[in-house]
């Protein structure tokens, strides 16, 4: 994968964290840059950790399913993208605990928003991606989106949550389709 593709993957994966950050920003009484950094670090850290775990899990059984790897990557990215598009249609925003940035509240949120990154990490093993480069890009991108989500949520409200998840889902589906078409020889880059 190219750096641009990894960056786009990072944007797609960060959209769940962005949406949660917007929701948390909505319920804050005043803007806290410290809390924005906390959100960015939790979300970015987990978005970097999960692909790493998935990558090492995927390399363990890569040799057994190498001939199907492009189909698996396509399916995983499309399923994640479809789920994100479905979530974008939900109008709910859990703002009850928005002002709570304690580990008790942030750990489950960070874990929940990064489960899809675990599946992407498995696909990275099949694609022979430089995992350190990938997790750095994904983690940093998600940090920025988590940080900005708090600020945008505080300033602009819930307007961007569903659009962010919709765009993120579409990006993941497009990347999965591109990978499949390249492996089938339909397109070359």
Q: Is there a contact between 118 and 54 (Cβ–Cβ < 8 Å)?
A: yes
At 55, the pLDDT band (50, 70, 90 cuts) reads very high
Stretch 56-78: mean pLDDT: 77
Lookup result for tokens 């190219």 = 2
Mean pLDDT, the chain, whole residue set:
82
Give whichever of 76-80, 82-86, 127-131 has the largest mean pLDDT: 127-131
Stretch 88-113: mean pLDDT: 74
pLDDT for residue 162 is more than 90 = no
Task: Report the distance separating Cα 60 and Cα 85, nearest Å.
Answer: 31
Q: Is there a contact between 10 and 138 (Cβ–Cβ < 8 Å)?
A: yes
CB-based contacts of 57, cutoff 8 Å, min separation 6: 121, 122, 125
Domain boundaries, the chain: 3-90+102-183
DSSP 123-153: HHHHHT--HHHHHHHHHHHHHHHHHHHHHHH
Written as six digits, the tokens of 162 are 């569903």
Helices 69-88 & 3-26 angle (0-180, nearest 10)? 30
Q: Is there a contact between 47 and 118 (Cβ–Cβ < 8 Å)?
A: no
Q: Cα 99 from chain centroid?
A: 22
CB-based contacts of 25, cutoff 8 Å, min separation 6: 31, 36, 98, 149, 150, 151, 152, 153, 154, 155
Stretch 150-169: mean pLDDT: 74
At 188, the pLDDT band (50, 70, 90 cuts) reads low
pLDDT tens column, 3-53: 898 999 999 889 888 888 887 887 677 788 899 999 999 999 999 999 999
Stretch 145-157: mean pLDDT: 85
Stretch 73-83: mean pLDDT: 80
pLDDT for residue 138 is more than 90 = yes
Q: Is 102 helix (H, G, I), strand (E, B) or coil?
A: coil
């Amino acid at each position: 994968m190219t750096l641009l593709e990894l960056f786009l993957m990072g944007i797609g994966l960060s959209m769940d964290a962005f949406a949660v950050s917007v929701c948390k920003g909505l319920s804050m009484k005043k803007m806290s840059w410290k809390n924005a950094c906390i959100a960015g670090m939790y979300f970015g850290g987990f978005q970097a950790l999960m692909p790493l775990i998935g990558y090492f899990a995927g390399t363990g059984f890569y040799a057994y399913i190498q001939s199907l790897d492009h189909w698996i990557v396509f399916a995983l990215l499309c399923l994640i993208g479809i789920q994100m598009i479905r979530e974008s249609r939900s109008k709910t925003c859990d703002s009850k605990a928005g002002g709570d940035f304690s580990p008790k509240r942030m750990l489950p949120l960070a874990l929940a928003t990064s489960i899809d990154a675990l599946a992407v990490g498995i696909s990275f093993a099949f694609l022979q991606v430089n995992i350190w480069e990938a997790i750095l890009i994904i983690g940093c991108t998600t940090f920025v989106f988590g940080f900005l989500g708090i600020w945008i949520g505080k300033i602009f409200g819930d307007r961007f949550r569903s659009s962010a998840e919709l765009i993120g889902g579409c990006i993941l589906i497009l990347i999965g389709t591109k990978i499949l078409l390249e492996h089938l020889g339909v397109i070359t880059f």
